[in-house]
Structure 1
């Protein structure tokens, strides 16, 4: 977690991967791993980590946000919009969620 907090997401991936293997049902470890993978630009793996959290707890707004951002980075804008919309609906006061959703929707609109 110190590596992730200090801005070294790529360095945090390996220890967090090991922690996730040791504690596969820990949402906090899987969230940290997803954040590290996203920061290291491993978007497909980050999406998998966030998706695993959502499978166990569909109301986990940060995991929906992380999944939406990861899908967006992979160019999967329609799927990203769905997850970001859910996160934004759950936490309408979160400006990051709303901003990400607006960005993805604008991208979709510009491609039509």
Structure 2
């Protein structure tokens, strides 16, 4: 996850995200356009489309994960934590959702909870260097604050 900045969608054929009416297309189009915006660094615009998709399909872990990534990229860390937490509560073995939750919690300054989730993610996927690096950072920060 990287901290993306706000941006506008390049496709101006539909309503602007955040407008009063629904953007063109359906849930799948909102999801794929949201992912494209996220990949291009327009996290804030992606949040708008992905939030609409998540409202329409609240049971979709893929959509909610993408929404959490976009929220994180838009520096909406509390919202990102909520998105990832919802996935973790439904599926405790979702290592990426635990990782996202841990990162969001660390950005919010809750390093104890961050370490808990990052440690679980790292234990589930010991080969993932990003998980291990984030865990080391959160543990070091927590230790320095004690």
TM-score for both structures, normalised by structure 1: 0.99
> 2:78 is matched with which residue: 29, 44, 50?
44
Going by fraction, where is helix more abundant, 1 or 2? 1
How many residues align? The count is 112
Deviation digits for residues 76-96 of structure 1 (CA, Å, limit 9, x no counterpart): 000000000000000000000
> 2:44 is matched with which residue: 10, 15, 20?
10
Q: Does 1:111 align with 2:145?
A: yes
- Measured on the aligned residues, the alpha-carbon RMSD in Å equals 0.4
Task: Give the deviation of 1:5 after TM superposition.
Answer: 1.0
Hey, what's the Cα distance between the residues in 2 that align with 1:86 and 1:106? 17
Task: Give the deviation of 1:41 after TM superposition.
Answer: 0.3
Task: Give the deviation of 1:55 after TM superposition.
Answer: 1.1
Structure 1 partner of 2:91: 57
Structure 2 partner of 1:28: 62
Q: Does 1:102 align with 2:105?
A: no
Hey, what's the Cα distance between the residues in 1 that align with 2:142 and 2:52? 37
Structure 1 partner of 2:53: 19
Structure 1 partner of 2:114: 80
Hey, what's the Cα distance between the residues in 1 that align with 2:90 and 2:105? 19
Dislocated runs of 4+, deviation >3 Å: none
Gaps of 5+ in 2: 1-34
Tell me the SS of whatever aligns to 2:50. Answer: helix
TM-score for both structures, normalised by structure 2: 0.76
Q: Of the two, which has the highest radius of gyration?
A: 2
Deviation digits for residues 2-26 of structure 1 (CA, Å, limit 9, x no counterpart): 0011111111000000000000000
Hey, what's the Cα distance between the residues in 2 that align with 1:111 and 1:44? 21
